Structure 1
Amino acid sequence: MKNLNKSIQGVCFGEVLWDNLPTGKKLGGAPLNVAYHLNKLGVVAQMLTRIGRDENGYELLTVCEQLGIPTAFFQYDDSLPTSTVEVTIDADRNVQYDIVYPVAWDRITAEPAVLEAVSKADFLVYGSLACRDDVSFQSLLTLLKEASFRVMDVNLRAPFFGPHRVHELLRYADLVKMNAEELHIIAEWSGAPSTYTDQQRVDLLLDCFSIQEAIVTYGAAGAVYHHKKANISYHFPALKVQVEDTIGSGDSFLAAFLTKRFQMAEGVALEEVLEFAATLSGFVTQSSGACPAYNAADINRFHWLNPIFRDSERKMKQ
């Protein structure tokens, strides 16, 4: 892990919340996790969200500040509560989530200071869940028109998604990240027959929505990076680690990828970008929670102890 360029700037848009687990509450939200890791890696990443003026909101704000997540763009709602997700686990260990609606982040607004920050940032990260309400959705559309590079982190959570809104968000994306299940759902919406391979599904979406880059994650099987203009599909393996939990592993992959991707002008190769992303994702997978504490030395040591490549595992199609 090299010294990282602190001049890179990003904005993450969307949900912050408390997961109310049987064992207690835990901070959550995919864009929040991405913002945490970006800031840990030296990127100045603002978090644009909205919380209620309630006990949950003040506690969430305090925890974010302790984690080093900038809170200057946190908005405050006088009528809607801070977001919570009620998590229940039955006797068979099946997990069910009730993402309470409406909550404060359903009413995010595009204020002038936010518009200016997005226009100056290197990238804007956004997801699909935060657009379940029209207020936040319209605010995001306004911001997307100002952004220089737009990163869509697909996050399909029933019942808060459908083809119309997801397709609209994809039309703005320069880079999209999704898991294999999400790829299949969106490709089916876009007319892909069930006989298509994942490569054909990705090609269809890149063509339909004029997207240049895509990352599809496959859990323990790794991830595939696709670049339309360069005609590259690059399979990168996941690290073989002892899994503590998989919470936030994809979010850390995206944050590490973006950090290195925006250093490529300084001579960072694509292979190094993906290796770094897989390394941080592996570290988070063998840690507890989405936002474990770490520094450069921790990641360097983890990388040394857990080499990515064994017996020519990398596969690039060009």
Structure 2
Amino acid sequence: MTNYNIVSLGEILWDILPEQELPGGAPLNVAYHLHKQSQKVVLVSRIGNDQHGQRLLDIMQQRGLATDLIQRDNRYDTGKVYARMDEQLDMQYDIVYPVAWDHISWDTALDAMFRNDELQYLVYGSLLARNEVSRNTLEKALQSPARKVLDINLRAPYYTKETLEWLLFSCDLLKLNIGELELIADWYGNFKTSEERIKLLSERFNIQTIIVTLGGKGCMGYIQGQFYYQEGQPVKVADTIGSGDAFLAGFLTSQISGYTPAYSLAYANALGALVASKPGGCPDYDPQEITDMIVKKKAYVSTGQ
């Protein structure tokens, strides 16, 4: 088995938009963008024995993604999400349940892969815990010594406070958007600023790195007790599907490469904006476009205070 350095664990599916169907699911999007940044990433998920599942496999193989840990399910269909963009340019989702990715099972291949000494990061999302089968697989995966990266993805009714607290206690790096930050932190008190909310989560759940997307306003991060900020990159938005996933992939790639937190956030911010300027969560692009955006804006100098 290939010695992967990143595992992306969770849902793969089809985003059904009014005008087209696009491959998606946060773990697939993250894996795609990590692969574009030359990371040795493997996607762990489950598809149905149907045409939608075969099309996903074909697309992943065409794009060079490893598919050896994609499980097949004879009972449940490949996942689907019906998506539309509202007047504020935010995506609204209707996620079909139950589907194949709710039943990712632990097997000998996963056990061997998570024993890989070269594994640096395990990326997973909160949706993975909505079904007992996939949740049990996640619990076993979290025993790996790899750094745990939680991508909060709040989709009612598929989360509870109890489940989210378990996930938050499990992670080393937390990525979420501003709305998710406000919702979760405000369970524990009244806060006036995003900084207060982030510090609360960091201290309560012992999370050393928290990165927050702010939509068109950019992003902010709290890394080893220091705040960092990046302004938004001006782009014409095609849709925002997968832009947060691209952001996370950009941040991880930069951190693995040894860049500073400020530059890592600038790179993540630029990649997220670039993806938002193109349709779908996995558009084609040249990674040089990301660097060009950073240089043009001189974004990396915008550091914490």
TM-score, reference length from structure 1: 0.88
Change (3 A) 1:136 1:271: same
Measured on the aligned residues, the alpha-carbon RMSD in Å equals: 2.4
Residue in 2 that maps onto 1:35: 31
Q: 1:281 pairs with 272, 278, 286, which one?
A: 272
CA distance in 2, matches of 1:240, 1:90: 20
Residue in 2 that maps onto 1:82: 78
CA distance in 2, matches of 1:87, 1:178: 20
Residue in 2 that maps onto 1:251: 245
Q: 2:229 pairs with 232, 235, 238, which one?
A: 235
Residue in 2 that maps onto 1:4: none
1:95 CA displacement: 7.0
Identity %: 38
Q: 1:205 pairs with 195, 201, 205, which one?
A: 201
Q: Is 1:270 the equivalent of 2:261?
A: yes
- Indicate the SS of the match to 2:304: strand
1:67-104 Cα shifts (integer Å, max 9, x gaps):
2221111001110110112346899x997532111100
Residue in 2 that maps onto 1:124: 122
116-125 or 36-45, which deviates more: 116-125
Give the partner amino acid of 2:218.
Answer: G
Give the partner amino acid of 1:126.
Answer: Y
- The number of residues matched between the two structures is 301
CA distance in 2, matches of 1:90, 1:203: 31
Residue in 2 that maps onto 1:46: 42
Q: Is 1:98 the equivalent of 2:88?
A: no
1:155 CA displacement: 0.2
Question: What stretches of structure 2 of length at least 5 have no aligned partner?
Answer: none
Question: What stretches of structure 1 of length at least 5 have no aligned partner?
Answer: 1-6
Residue in 1 that maps onto 2:304: 316
Runs ≥4 in structure 1, deviation > 6 angstroms? Answer: 88-91
1:135 CA displacement: 0.9
1:175 CA displacement: 0.2
CA distance in 2, matches of 1:278, 1:86: 26
CA distance in 2, matches of 1:88, 1:246: 10
